[in-house]
Every structure is written in C-alpha cells, then in structure tokens.
Amino acid sequence: MFKLIIILMMVIARPQQAKFISDFSTKFIAMVGGNRCGKTYGGAEKAVLLTMYNGMYNKTIGIAIEPTYDMAIKILKPALEEAFKRYGIEAKYKTSEHVFVIPEYNNSLIYLFSGDKPERIEAVQGSWVWGDEPAQWKPEVFTRVLTRMNDPNARILQTFLTGTPEGLNHYYKELFSIGKDGKQKYKIIYGSIEEIRLNTDPEYISRLENFFDPLLLREKLFGEFVNTTSGRVYYAFDESLVIEKYLPQLNLPVLVSCDFNINPCVWNVSQYYNNILYTFDEVIMYNANTNYMCQKLSDILSKYGDFAGYYFYGDYTSIKQRTTATSYTDWGIIEQNFKNYRNYKTKLQSNPKVKERVETQNSLFSHKRHYITRNCKYLIDDYRFVVWDENGYELEKKKDKDRTHASDGVGYMINIEFGLNKKYSKII
C-alpha cells in the first residue's frame, strides 16, 4: 500500500498517466495517446505493481505483448527494467524463455510475447495481460489474449492496453466494443499533449508537425482515432504531384527501389534534389528474371550518364531469396551487375510495418516533397488506386495483381531515407 501511495506522488505532474497506473478496479482499461505521452512506461509500472500485489500472496504470472519479439526486447524489456529499478525490486531475465522472474514475490513471472505469434500466448495462464501497441498486432490476438486472464490465485485480474491509434482498425473496434452488460467494455484514459511536452525535448512536437501530414498528426500527436486504414491507402497523393519530366543531376546519386515480385516486377529510379524526392523512371518485367531486370536498368541509367552514386533499396527479407534458378540471391545478382559502378551501395534495414511505410509516403506527399514523372505509370497507379484490405491491416493485393509492387519498393527506400526516428526513450 505504501508503494501505491508513492506512485501517485511521483507522477502527480502527469495526471493522465497517474489515472491509468493507479486504477486497479477496472477489469479492462486502456491508455490511448500520441507518441511519447508516457503510455508504455505507464504500462510497465502498472505491470510491476500488479505483480507485487498479487505476488505477495501467491506466485503469479503476467503477460506482456508487443507486436513483435524484436519490439518486446527493445521496448518492453527496458521499460520493465526501469520500473523494477524504481521500486527497488530484483528481477532476473531468462533470455531463452523471454521471461522475468521476481524472487521477492514468490518467484512470480512476467512473460514477453509477440503479437505475431498468437498461438504461443494461449499456453500461459495469466493474472494480468498488458498489450502494447495492439493496433499493430494480428487481429486474432485479441480473442486469444482475453482468455488468458484467468489465474484463480490472483487478487486482481486486469487487462490493460497502451497504444497510439492506427486508424479505425481492430484496436479501435476492441476498445469501443460493448460488453455483456450493454456498456463499453474498456475504460479509456487519453494521454495529453502537455505530458508529451514533459517527456520530450522542446523541438519534438515541431518535428512531428513538419513531418506528418495533418491527418496523421491528429493520430500520432493527439491520439485521435481517424480513418487512416480503410479506403484509399495513399490519400495524400494528388495529381499535382505528377510531372512531365525531371532532369537528373549527375553530381548526385540515384536511388533505385527494387521489388522482387515476379508478375510484375517493378523497379523505380529516384533522386533527392533541393529537399524534394523525384521519381523519374521505371523498369517493368512480367515473368521476371532478376538478371534481366539488372540489364534493363543498366540500359536506362546509361541514357542519363554517369551518376555520383548508385544506391539500391528493397525488401530486407530478400537477402535470402532467389527468384531465378541460380546460386545467387536477388541481392547477390544486383551486386554482380552493379558492384563496379561508381559509389555502389545496397541500403537495407529490417522491414518496417506496412502502415509505417505508408505514413512516411503520405507525409512526403502532404508536404509536396515527392514528385513522380508521368512515365512511372505503375507507381502512379499504385498511389491512385491501392486500398486497404478489409481488416485495415495489410494492403489489398488480390483484386489487382499489378498493384502495390512499385509503391512497396519505393516505400522501403523512403522509410530508410525519410522515416521519422522512432527510437524508444525512457519516459516517466
């Protein structure tokens, strides 16, 4: 009880976070807000306090979920460690099992799970379940998670969610669903922009305002649920961004975005000039052969002259992929063809979530920082016509098999070069 009083004193300057952390009577509760309003650390603190309370009487198990294991290690683990440190609690982390053991409280456990692996969550019986960024989970995780809050020895049972909206998708539907009593199931605590200011440097909000388009800003800064995951994907694109021609600058590198789909395979050529991205050429092939795509690209590039550099981007998972019957991977074939070009580089990073790629492209469009020449027909048609699937979780690819490949490839490049840095920071 003493430590529960301390928590209220320590976060008095963050009233929304305090309301969320200190509520142990509501069975289903969520903190919804913009980036860095203190949601994740609030969830970690609530997780530790629940473990302390339940663990005083019996061994208890908590379940903490991130969209991926990589996010769980980079985000949940340090947040929980910070909360343990704050309360002077010793916790041992078992890497092989993704679990914290808390000896002081009857060897209670906190498991870290991935929303990409919902089947593994069902094996654990929990006294509380914490879901971070549930809008990025697979939709079916919700039905599997709620059944886990069933530890008969727990004094407090609670499911709590912390996350920024991602359109009107399954997270939105879960939060505003109606329970058996006819009332809204979740109690929602909204984060505040004042708390974001407390948690960030003075320039953070202005960076968001300069990066995101107005619709995304409502979502990422103010934590509002707006329609960004249904209907047209690239809603910020308009015809004024299609231009007749662009004169490439030979003193600058070209940026080649590669898609490795077979029917069709689409590569686009871009250049960043005067703070604007110009996509000015396109290579297309059906029944694609990566080596032939390289030859066609080489012919196109030679028309312009010798550039200062040749940078290649694309799907990171293709580092092991072979779309042709050779001993080389697709990226290996590209290297064989272009390694002797001046300042040749492959620029690859782990693939971002689909919505993150989409957000970055829409943000460039809204600030008039990406123009496409009219000859890039496949890319332009993607920006005109690609829509979300029925779950608002992935892009619709089944109805038109020509769609998404060009914008996927360009999206990987744009996310690396222009994506907002979303590194986790410790927030109290």
Same domain as 105, residue 150: yes
> Per-residue pLDDT for 125 more than 90?
no
Confidence of residue 248 (pLDDT cuts 50, 70, 90): very high
Instruction: Say how many domains are in the chain.
Output: 2
End of a domain among 157, 192, 220?
A: 220
pLDDT score recorded for residue 327: 65
pLDDT at 162 over 70: yes
Is residue 424 assigned to a domain? no
Report DSSP letters for 336-394, one per residue. HHHTTSTTEEE---PPPPHHHHHHHHHHHHHTT-EEEETT-HHHHHHHHH-BB-TTSSS
Q: Give yes or no: residues 65 and 187 share one domain.
A: yes
The answer to the question of residue 426 being in a domain is: no
Inform me whether the pLDDT recorded for 323 exceeds 60.
no
Is the domain of 96 the same as that of 206?
Answer: yes
- With respect to residue 87, please indicate whether it lies within any of the assigned structural domains: yes
Structural domain boundaries, residue 321: 239-418
258 with 214, same domain?
A: no
Distance CA 47, CA 49 (A): 6
CA gap 97, 95 in Å, rounded:
5
Do 161 and 274 lie in one domain? The reply is: no
386 and 354, same domain (yes or no)? yes
Q: Residue 129 — pLDDT band, cuts 50, 70, 90? A: very high
Last residue of a domain, one of 175, 191, 220: 220
72: in domain: yes
Q: What is the mean pLDDT of residues 275-280?
A: 96
Q: What percent of the chain has pLDDT over 90?
A: 59
Banded model confidence at residue 320, pLDDT cuts 50, 70, 90: low
Structural tokens at position 408: 């996927």
* Mean confidence (pLDDT) of the chain: 87
Same domain, 69 and 194: yes
Would 228 be classed as within a structural domain? Answer: no
Q: Please say if the pLDDT value at position 204 is more than 60.
A: yes
Beta-strand runs (E) in 115-213 = 128-132, 158-163, 187-190
Same domain, 355 and 274: yes
Q: Residues 5-64: pLDDT tens digits?
A: 444 444 556 899 999 999 999 999 999 999 889 999 999 999 999 999 999 989 999 999
pTM score of the predicted model: 0.76
On whether both 177 and 246 belong to a single domain, the answer is no
258 in the same domain as 306: yes
Whether 405 and 337 share a structural domain: yes
On whether both 244 and 216 belong to a single domain, the answer is no
| pLDDT > 80? residue 427 | no
What is the pLDDT at residue 319? 59
Is residue 230 one of the residues assigned to a domain? no
The enclosing domain of 281 has a CATH number of: 3.30.420.280
Which CATH number characterizes residue 120's domain? 3.40.50.300
- Average pLDDT over every residue of 164-189: 89
Does residue 368 fall inside a structural domain?
yes
Reported as a single tens digit per residue, the pLDDT across 87-101 is 999 999 999 999 999
Check: CB of residue 141 under 8 Å from CB of residue 118: yes
The whole-angstrom separation of Cα 133 and Cα 136 is 6
